[in-house]
């Protein structure tokens, strides 16, 4: 188990990088569902899932990136 980030700045840097990376990845994989669920629902689900993944990645920093690669 990894140690959580030591300060707020490190957490937000990890969160921001994770949000950009996983947000883009999730958006590309889920674009095919945009027409069937509608834009507002798609954006809400995308934002919530990306936020959850980013929080997880920021709290468990190196473990997550090692699993992705």
Q: At a CB cut-off of 8 Å and minimum separation 6, what does 50 contact?
A: 19, 22, 23, 26
d(CA 46, CA 20): 12
d(CA 52, CA 23): 11
Q: How many CA atoms lie within 13 A of 19 on its CB side?
A: 11
8-39, pLDDT tens digit by residue? 888 899 899 999 999 999 999 998 888 888 88
Query: Domain limits of the chain?
Result: 8-68
For residues 42-67, average pLDDT: 89
Question: For residue 2, what pLDDT band results from cuts at 50, 70 and 90?
Answer: low
50 near 19, Cβ under 8 Å? Answer: yes
Q: Using the 8-state DSSP alphabet, how is residue 31 labeled? A: G
């Amino acid at each position: 188990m990894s140690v959580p980030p030591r300060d707020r700045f490190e957490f937000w840097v990890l969160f921001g990088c994770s949000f950009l990376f996983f947000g883009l990845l999730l958006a590309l994989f889920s674009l095919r569902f945009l027409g069937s669920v509608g834009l507002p629902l798609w954006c809400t689900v995308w934002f919530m899932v990306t936020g959850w993944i980013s929080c997880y990645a920021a709290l468990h920093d190196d473990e997550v990136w090692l699993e992705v690669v």
